[in-house]
Amino acid sequence: MSTLFIVLIGGISLFNLMLTLALARKINNNGSPTSFGNVRVGVSMPDNRLPDGTPMPEFRAVSETDGEVTRADLAGAPAVVGFFSGSCGPCLEQAPDFVKAVTGFPGGRGQVLAVVKGSGPVVAELRTLLEPVARVVVEPAGALPGSTAEAFGIVRWPSYVDIAADGRITNHLAPGELVLPTTAR
């Protein structure tokens, strides 16, 4: 009788474990191609505050490697600005795709700006990855007045902003949309 009881409890426990794993897999979406880190396709993401057609905002940022970067440095030719955060899983996942997308961009790394928010080893890793293809600016975490992210109205991370030669924002690329428009190339 006690052997039957042990087998029954063991079977119920195994069934419970399998249900728990199935539920965890469903909740995490099992890394399906319709997910980008913590962002799910079909789930409403906040829009960044500057709509398409808006002139590139005035900003002043300092790159440790390249010195001061301003609106004037990106004006007159197509440009791309990528916004990353050291505390953002999708940012770390998509940074290599960003590097591939902007490699060979007209004007080279002078027309590509990467803004990395935060501090610590993840930010250092992002900076090392991005510097060969972009001027990299590291800003403190938080929504700071006067930051580049604040000037561009960034509210979701990562974000990618395509800027036309006339200085207007032509596209806010959302997570997963790292193929830059052919008009910018």
d(CA 74, CA 79): 6
Q: Which CATH number fits domain 60-184: 3.30.1490.20, 3.40.50.970, 3.40.30.10, 3.30.9.10?
A: 3.40.30.10
Q: Are strands 135-139 and 112-117 parallel, antiparallel or unpaired?
A: parallel
Stated pTM of the model: 0.72
CA distances from 124 to 46, 80, 86, 91, 131 (A): 27, 21, 9, 13, 11
Domain extent listing, the chain: 2-31, 60-184
pLDDT digit of tens for each residue in the chain (185 aa)?
788 778 777 777 776 766 666 666 656 544 433 333 444 445 556 678 898 899 999 999 999 999 999 999 999 999 999 999 999 999 999 999 999 999 999 999 999 999 999 999 999 999 999 999 999 999 998 867 889 999 999 988 899 999 999 999 987 765 556 655 544 44
Residues in a beta bridge with 62: 68
